Amino acid sequence: MDHKNSQSASYAAAGVDITAGYKAVELMKKHVARTRNEGCLDDVGGFGGCFGLPVAGMEEPVLVSGTDGCGTKVKLAILMDKHDTIGIDAVAMCVNDIICVGAKPLFFLDYIACGKNVPEKIAKIVSGVAEGCVQSGAALIGGETAEHPGLMPVEDYDLAGFAVGIVDKKKILNKERMEAGDVVIALASTGIHSNGFSLCRKAFNIDNNDPLLYIPREELGGKTIAEALLVPTRIYVKSILALLEKVDVKGISHITGGGFYENIPRSIPDGLCARVDKRAVKVLPIFDLIAQFGNVPERDMFNTYNMGVGMTVVVPAAEVDTALEILRANGEDAYVIGTIEKGEEKVILE
């Protein structure tokens, strides 16, 4: 589209450069193109993103939606001037939720609010969004970048997203089929993902840009704390879809804010309890550092962070080996951390 006649000196004087928005769209188009799939019907730049629903073979197609942001992890991305991975987090937080229902992601839209539209920075952010979409098989069919002078400092931005997936109604995961004797499998996380950053900021004095953030640490494999914290959220969509094809999955939990104590119970029916062996959890070193520097008790850690487990799935005991084989073949570090038993507490960590 030709925007040469669209410009406003008055609006620019008030802090909004609409021509920067046009440039940002042009710069991001190559990233958006990577995400196109069979459902895409038009190009970026219209008023609404159009998508053809792939419902062939489904008896009762159901749309499943999810929306989320990256929390104050964005502050660390701004501090480090690294903007090409935070978009992966935005996608992950949405698609990892809808896969818990058994839905395949179809498309994603992003929303970027910024103090000043710097096209190159916006394009980097969108490159991460596009990478997250590629990893999850979703198409990036649109979005919005809004310049907010006076509301946000010029260097600040925030990022949120919205995803839609689809599942045949009869295949929606039903936790009521869960029973005592089923097994809880953990899928390893890549780090703290996108939750608990307010506590991280306090523990590591991030808001004051503490030099501690930039010291390479042996326990982090030579990474700095800042680098370890900014590692993007793992996207589990393709491995879970592969699992659903072969295994009778009874429940899935995305371990986000609230950690084990809030998220595992969401997939457990009344009358049953997930008994989790804390000793089996492969706790990542970054969590040990948060506990150490923030003086955070163990229970608070498990009630705030994923502790190295980004997702859990519950399967019948007879299918554990098959489930582990499929998940590992799809690149997951998957292992057993507990069992389902009768009880009212929903989750017990011991």
Beta strands in 1-74 (DSSP E): 61-69
- Spans of the chain below 70 pLDDT: 1-22, 42-46
In the prediction, which pLDDT does 1 show? 47
Phi, psi (rounded to 5 degrees) for 94: -90, -50
Q: Are 151 and 114 in contact (CB under 8 A)?
A: no
In the prediction, which pLDDT does 261 show? 96
Work out the angle between the directed axes of helices 86-98 and 119-136 (0-180°, nearest 10): 30
Q: Is the dihedral of CA 144, 135, 250, 263 positive or negative?
A: negative
Q: What is the DSSP string of 143-206?
A: EEEEE-BTTB-TT-EEEEEEEEEEEEGGGS--GGG--TT-EEEEEE-SSSTTS-HHHHHHHTTG
CA distance 110 to 90: 8
DSSP 219: G
Q: Are 232 and 190 in contact (CB under 8 A)?
A: yes
What is the CB-side half-sphere exposure of residue 342 using CA atoms within 13 A? 0
**Hey, what are 230's tokens?**
């900014």
CA distance 288 to 156: 30
Angle at 213 between CA 212 and CA 217, to 5 degrees: 80
In the prediction, which pLDDT does 39 show? 79
DSSP SS3 for 1: coil
Give the chain's length: 350
